[in-house]
């Protein structure tokens, strides 16, 4: 499925203004979990961009923003060490960490709340001459319609947790694998 695009770019450079549809909610949740760390953009920069652009207002505060920043600093150090790089130093040319959503599975939907599993591909490369490494991650996310757009919401995510309590998580299977559809995933096709 090709998800709809946002109608505008916000002050943080994020695509926002998704349609008031289930597909619009999935597109917003996917955008809220898509990041690229490379060149002068740090892990902290990306996490704060996602926080301010996609998190529901009820879930935002100065304390939470500070925790997001501190966690992003720690995560950035861990990622740098995993890549064999010096934590805190700028990434070398050709180095990056990217995360983008490649599939989804709807759990619940109503006019103003949508929840589902997101399947993310995370890739990293420590420099021009290094091989790219990738892995896949499954995320449970809920979004609510707020102020004319979809926002990732703790309340909607709690509803998703309640709805999936005791149920098996969908298998992590990549598009193209015969088990992808059997696991209930819908592949996301890049919009042209």
pLDDT tens-digit profile, the chain (192 residues) = 899 999 999 999 999 999 999 999 999 999 999 999 998 899 999 999 999 999 999 999 999 999 999 999 999 899 889 888 888 888 888 999 999 999 999 999 999 999 999 999 999 999 999 999 999 999 999 999 999 999 999 999 999 999 999 999 999 999 989 899 999 999 998 754
Angstrom distance (rounded) from CA 48 to CA 37: 12
Angstrom distance (rounded) from CA 6 to CA 16: 5
What is the pLDDT at residue 87? 86
Q: Within 10 Å of residue 32's Cβ, how many Cβ atoms?
A: 23
**3-state SS, residue 76:** helix
Q: Within 10 Å of residue 131's Cβ, how many Cβ atoms?
A: 6
What is the pLDDT at residue 13? 96
pTM for the structure as a whole: 0.93
Pairing label, strands 35-38, 133-146: unpaired
Angstrom distance (rounded) from CA 34 to CA 36: 7
Domain ranges of the chain: 8-187
**3-state SS, residue 102:** strand
What is the pLDDT at residue 84? 87
What is the pLDDT at residue 90? 81
**3-state SS, residue 107:** strand
What is the pLDDT at residue 134? 95
Q: Within 10 Å of residue 23's Cβ, how many Cβ atoms?
A: 16
What is the pLDDT at residue 140? 98
What is the pLDDT at residue 191? 58
CB of 121 closer than 8 Å to CB of 136: yes
What is the pLDDT at residue 89? 80
CB of 43 closer than 8 Å to CB of 70: no
């Amino acid at each position: 499925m090709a998800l709809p695009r946002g109608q505008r770019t916000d002050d943080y450079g994020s695509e926002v203004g998704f349609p008031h549809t289930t597909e619009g909610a999935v597109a917003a949740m996917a955008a809220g979990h898509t990041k690229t760390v490379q060149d002068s953009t740090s892990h902290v920069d990306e996490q704060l961009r996602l926080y301010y652009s996609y998190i529901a207002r009820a879930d935002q505060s100065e304390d939470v923003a500070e925790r997001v920043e501190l966690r992003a600093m720690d995560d950035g150090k861990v990622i740098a060490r995993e890549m064999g790089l010096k934590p805190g130093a700028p990434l070398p040319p050709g180095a990056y960490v990217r995360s983008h959503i490649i599939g989804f599975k709807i759990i619940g939907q109503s006019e103003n709340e949508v929840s589902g599993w997101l399947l993310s591909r995370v890739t990293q490369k420590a420099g021009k001459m290094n091989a790219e490494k990738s892995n896949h991650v499954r995320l449970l996310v809920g979004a609510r319609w707020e102020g004319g757009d979809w926002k990732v919401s703790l309340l909607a995510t709690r509803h998703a947790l309640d709805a999936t309590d005791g149920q098996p998580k969908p298998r992590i299977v990549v598009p193209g694998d015969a088990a992808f559809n059997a696991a209930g995933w819908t592949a996301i096709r890049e919009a042209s």
